[in-house]
């Protein structure tokens, strides 16, 4: 099925996750093509505008003040510094800049005013602007929206059941409340999680239940592989396999078909072949640059070389809905399903999800 559902159960998602890999890949790739251009991937740049000193105890995070890591803290960057980084990102092919600050929650005042000016500045560069600043109130979300914010990131991290095994300083409901505050504006939601923190597969399914039952579903869902950092409580966790990442990406694509599935942390441990499988399974966004906040990330030139090898194109900014496809492309999808061509007018532009709506049983 490829229609939008908000009533997925954990049992249904587990059945999808545990399918034979080739069947899972085929289903995910088929649904991906109904809603997205399979040869387009968004390139985003993640910028740490304020590093270290966070009062929370997220077990995976090297920026927590209570852990002894090698992260060097810094004060909030200036607007000029952020603009320079954004211009550099744009010249390298990024269409989105994501600014992260190691705060538990946003506090009104001079620093927040400075972040608002950063949002205005990047927005004028014709780039999408995303922020991840911790918990925000409804009023703060409104102010960010007025400044031109395109997306707000607030990950659920894991299932509600496993969440408390990783974090104690902020509740799962707190995260849902921040997402709800963002939803009261025109800012899109970016929310996903991390796999490889010691959770069970049931917890991965539980996280997708929580995300898919949001209405509307998040426009972006980052799937991160834990990067175990020395000095954090999760420093001894073994890296997940590429097959686990591929299965998680594919399952996310099936359950949340219209979202941008973001292949996020952990790409330095993935081969190009592994990343290609993730793109085939439905991932259509990556983070570029040498760091993801504080953890390593592939060089942007390596990513562009990979794009060239795979025939992928960077996505342009501000594309919330997929561009219309041609009659020929839509009819070829129908023929692949054993159906007769449906559309005949060559000038007609068909929305990508129109095929899915008319033929909801595209993939069984």
Residues annotated as catalytic are 54, 58, 61, 98, 130, 190, 262
Element (H, E) at 151: strand 151-153
Please give the structure tokens belonging to residue 306. 């990979």
d(CA 287, CA 268): 11
Q: What is the CA radius of gyration of the chain?
A: 20
Tokens 């929310």 correspond to 191
3-state helix, strand, coil in the chain (%, to 5): 40, 15, 45
H-only helix segments in 238-289? 242-255, 272-281
Q: 71 near 82, Cβ under 8 Å?
A: no
For 288, other C-beta atoms within 10 Å of its C-beta total 25
């Amino acid at each position: 099925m490829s229609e939008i559902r908000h009533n997925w159960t954990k049992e249904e998602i587990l059945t999808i996750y545990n399918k034979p890999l080739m069947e899972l890949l085929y289903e995910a790739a088929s649904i991906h093509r109904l809603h997205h251009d399979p040869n387009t991937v968004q390139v985003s740049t993640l910028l740490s505008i304020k590093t270290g000193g966070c009062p929370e105890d997220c077990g995976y995070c090297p920026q927590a003040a209570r852990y002894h890591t090698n992260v060097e803290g810094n004060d909030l960057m200036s607007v000029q510094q952020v603009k320079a980084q954004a211009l550099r990102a744009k010249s390298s092919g990024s269409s989105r800049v994501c600014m992260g600050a190691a705060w538990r929650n946003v506090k009104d005042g001079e620093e927040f005013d400075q972040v608002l000016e950063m949002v205005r500045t990047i927005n004028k560069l014709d780039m999408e602007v995303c922020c991840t600043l911790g918990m925000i109130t409804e009023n703060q979300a409104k102010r960010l929206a007025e400044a031109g914010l395109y997306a707000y990131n607030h990950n659920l991290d894991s299932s509600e059941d496993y969440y408390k095994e990783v974090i104690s300083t902020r509740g799962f409901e707190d995260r849902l409340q921040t997402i709800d505050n963002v939803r009261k504006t025109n800012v899109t939601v970016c929310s996903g999680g991390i796999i490889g923190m010691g959770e069970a597969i049931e917890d991965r399914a539980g996280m997708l239940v929580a995300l898919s039952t949001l209405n509307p579903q998040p426009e972006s869902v980052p799937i991160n592989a834990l990067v175990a950092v020395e000095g954090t409580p999760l420093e001894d966790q073994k890296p997940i396999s590429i097959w686990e990442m591929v299965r998680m990406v594919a399952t996310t694509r099936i359950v949340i078909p219209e979202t941008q599935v973001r292949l996020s942390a952990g790409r330095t441990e993935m081969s190009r072949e592994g990343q290609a499988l993730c793109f085939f399974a439905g991932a259509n966004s990556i983070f570029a640059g040498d760091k993801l906040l504080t953890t390593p990330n592939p060089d942007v030139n390596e990513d562009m070389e990979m794009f060239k090898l795979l025939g992928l194109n960077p996505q342009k900014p501000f594309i919330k809905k997929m561009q219309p496809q041609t009659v020929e492309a839509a009819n070829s999808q129908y023929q692949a399903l054993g159906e007769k061509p449906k559309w005949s007018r060559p000038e007609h532009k068909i929305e990508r999800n129109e095929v899915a709506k008319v033929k909801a049983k595209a993939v069984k």
